[in-house]
Structure 1
Amino acid sequence: MKLCNKNNFILGFILAVCCFLNTLSAQNLDSKIDPLIRNEIKDPNGPGAAFLIAKKGEILYQKSFGKANIELNVDLGSEFVFQLGSMTKQFTAIAILMLEEQGKLKTHDLVSKYILDYPSGDKITLHHLLTHTSGIKDFTKMKSLRDIAQKEMSPKMMVDFFKNEPVDFAPGEKFDYNNSGYILLGHIIELVSGETYEDFIEKNIFQKIGMNQSCFATDRQIISKRAYGYQKKESGYVNKTVINYSVPFSSGALMSTLNDMLKWQNALNTNQLISAETAKKAFSKYKLNNGEEFKYGYGWHIRDINGIATREHGGSIFGYKTMGVYVPSLDVYVLGFTNCDCISPTQLTQDIAKLVLETEAKN
């Protein structure tokens, strides 16, 4: 009995020391990161930002700055819902790979297999769309976009909007970031699954891994804890420009929170949605027709920080900007969301990730 008590005392002491060290580490992280963020988010009464750092699925740092709603003077919290913008592409890419595992499509399939009348569809593969190497016209660069920005568009209408535009280059010839490719992928997800893109993502991803605060974007429905989006003009802050989210669709129309996005990253790490073998497709670099390698997989930029491999992606849509950096070797995830497109979290999130890596190297 005395031995048990002694062992319990030792165990308790070790746990207490660990808790103390974790608290000390968190405090050190706060003292280094808070000044970086406050240097960018200078107006406490304006739109703000929310940041999260996690290691091995556990949150090390989570803070928010500024206002979620300027008119009502509501402070921004870490649980607030933001527009993801192009971080949506991660979900579209994984949905394609899920359908491939189900035997419903293949990434080397030609677009013409699913959309018979698509120009050059007999030369463009789903792989080209996923990797931004298709050469098709990016609809966000078309001047006529303003004519449809507030209209309800079906996926077919969106595809028809840009499909007859001249191509910029032959498939596989160049890497050129392209939103139209991911609209096509969303349309193909609907054709192959027999479900709307919104329903497919909701049922097969959000519900499956408990992303309960994530959804297809809407300005009409009530969204609990919505971070309102703003833009900055010469006269000051204004409410974001209104668009219909059927336009960005599967290239940029999802909403989420920091915590839900951590669930997303954890689900990818533990192969809850696709196998580890299939996931390699998303997280690999690829080559152009001439053999030149480019740093993009399926829905993620494949980069590095000081030689340490990272998977990164940002997003930008009226009123919001987002950025995520994941370091596979250390299982470190850094996220930054802002509710004004006048504040970019991209460099800040990368700088925070770099700081975390430098701290890890010293420990």
Structure 2
Amino acid sequence: MNSNKTFLWLTLLLLFFSCIVFGQGLENRIDSLILKEFNDPKGPGGVFTVTQKGKKVYQKAFGKANLELDVNLNPDNVFQIGSMTKQFTAIAILILEQEGKLNVNDPVSKYIKDYPSGDKITLHHLLTHTSGIKDFTKMKSLSGIAQKEMKPEMMVDFFKNEPVDFAPGEKFEYNNSGYVVLGYLIELISGNTYEDFIQKNIFDKAGMSHSYYASDRKVIPKRAYGYHKKESGYVNKTIISFSVPFSSGSLMSTADDMVKWQNALNKNILLNSQETKKAFQKYHLNNGEEFTYGYGWHLKDINGIGIREHGGSIFGFKSMGVHIPSEDIYVTGFSNCDCHSPTEVTRNIAKLVLENTKK
């Protein structure tokens, strides 16, 4: 072997081992971020996944999927994703707009004739949390229906006559009721149930074969069980009817299915680029002030670089997803105890991976 070939071979070998060490260094740093919060191997835990340009660069599970059966969490466990559901509801509305069945600037009264001030509240207001309608999760009477099976129309009737908090478009205030109304509109306009519409138009098209409208009755393979933490220890999650959060928070998914979701959005599999942009642009209040929410995503930044994120919290579960479009970095964190929040952990992982790509 001549000297040039020897030099080339040694260079390639050094590069190979450098990549391994570099990758292990990143993995160890991500582990340390997670273990600050998810540090009880005998308790419920979480699943964290990192992809870049659609390729998985990190995925691990921590803790137990089921305490009674002493079963460890795995990356393919199914979690309730809470308010990350709003992403799917927003995209479903845009799918209907692309099909010419609605316009996001339509007033609610076009579809629900008797909705109070429905001529002033638009679908855009509902999508951006600027409608001013009462958030049902803040109503004291919620406990009276929490375990009842509620039809979408019944849920809308539950809060629609409450006094509004502000005039439409006057301010941004996160609101679950708006997304329940959107789910009801999806049913009225499409002629399908919300569950069937999401299944056919999103889950099936994106290849999300382990995502569901939540149920405590159905047998769901690899389901992670949800927990609370009390002074005495862990207890099973509070049972609610999923017909109550409905289209604002009742979907279930896996880490890998959420990667498929992000890839489907990136590749315009579900929507054309023009409609997709509507979900990811910032809008303005009546006074011209810009706010940092699109349709189903918070629009923020890490070190001056734009990100799209949304979390979720529902009895027994918390979730978080962060996407950095410029580098196509996608990080998700799921927890099966509402005592553990993946929010800051997921953000910090995204920041770490972003900084890593800039080196």
Q: Structure 2: which amino acid aligns with 1:199?
A: D
Q: Structure 2: which amino acid aligns with 1:91?
A: F
**Root mean square deviation, CA, Å:** 1.8
| Residue 25 of structure 1: how far off its partner (Å) | 3.5
Counterpart in the other structure of 1:42: 39
| Residue 178 of structure 1: how far off its partner (Å) | 0.1
Provide closer, same or farther for how the CA distance between residues 36 and 238 of structure 1 changes in structure 2, counting only shifts above 3 A.
same
Counterpart in the other structure of 1:207: 204
TM-score when normalising by structure 2: 0.96
Q: Find the aligned partners of 1:147 and 1:66 in 2 and give their Cα distance.
A: 34
Provide closer, same or farther for how the CA distance between residues 122 and 35 of structure 1 changes in structure 2, counting only shifts above 3 A.
same
| Residue 12 of structure 1: how far off its partner (Å) | 11
Counterpart in the other structure of 1:171: 168
Moved more, 257-266 or 353-362: 353-362
Matches within 5 A, 1:228-247: 228-247=225-244
Tell me which of 294, 298, 303 is aligned to 1:297: 294
2:279 is the alignment partner of 1:279: no
SS at match of 1:146: helix
| Residue 350 of structure 1: how far off its partner (Å) | 0.5
Matches within 5 A, 1:251-262: 251-262=248-259
1:272-307 C-alpha deviation (Å, 9 max, x unpaired):
000111111000001000000000000000000010
Q: Structure 2: which amino acid aligns with 1:67?
A: K
Provide closer, same or farther for how the CA distance between residues 14 and 93 of structure 1 changes in structure 2, counting only shifts above 3 A.
farther
2:178 is the alignment partner of 1:181: yes
SS at match of 2:320: strand
Tell whether the 8 Å contact from 1:79 to 1:258 is kept in structure 2 after alignment. yes
Counterpart in the other structure of 1:360: 357
Q: Find the aligned partners of 1:216 and 1:15 in 2 and give their Cα distance.
A: 49
Counterpart in the other structure of 2:95: 98
SS at match of 2:287: coil
Tell me which of 150, 154, 163 is aligned to 1:153: 150
SS at match of 2:91: helix
Q: Structure 2: which amino acid aligns with 1:90?
A: Q
Tell whether the 8 Å contact from 1:285 to 1:293 is kept in structure 2 after alignment. yes
Counterpart in the other structure of 1:8: none
Tell whether the 8 Å contact from 1:29 to 1:61 is kept in structure 2 after alignment. no
Percent identical:
69
Q: Find the aligned partners of 2:23 and 2:264 in 1 and give their Cα distance.
A: 25
Q: Find the aligned partners of 1:281 and 1:14 in 2 and give their Cα distance.
A: 48
1:90-148 C-alpha deviation (Å, 9 max, x unpaired):
00000000000000000000000000000010000000000000000000000100000
| Residue 198 of structure 1: how far off its partner (Å) | 0.1
Q: Structure 2: which amino acid aligns with 1:79?
A: D
Q: Which runs of 4+ in 1 moved over 6 A?
A: 11-19
Tell whether the 8 Å contact from 1:212 to 1:260 is kept in structure 2 after alignment. yes
| Residue 357 of structure 1: how far off its partner (Å) | 1.1
Q: Structure 2: which amino acid aligns with 1:315?
A: G
TM-score when normalising by structure 1: 0.95
Unaligned runs of 5+ in 1: 1-10
Unaligned runs of 5+ in 2: 1-7
Counterpart in the other structure of 2:3: none
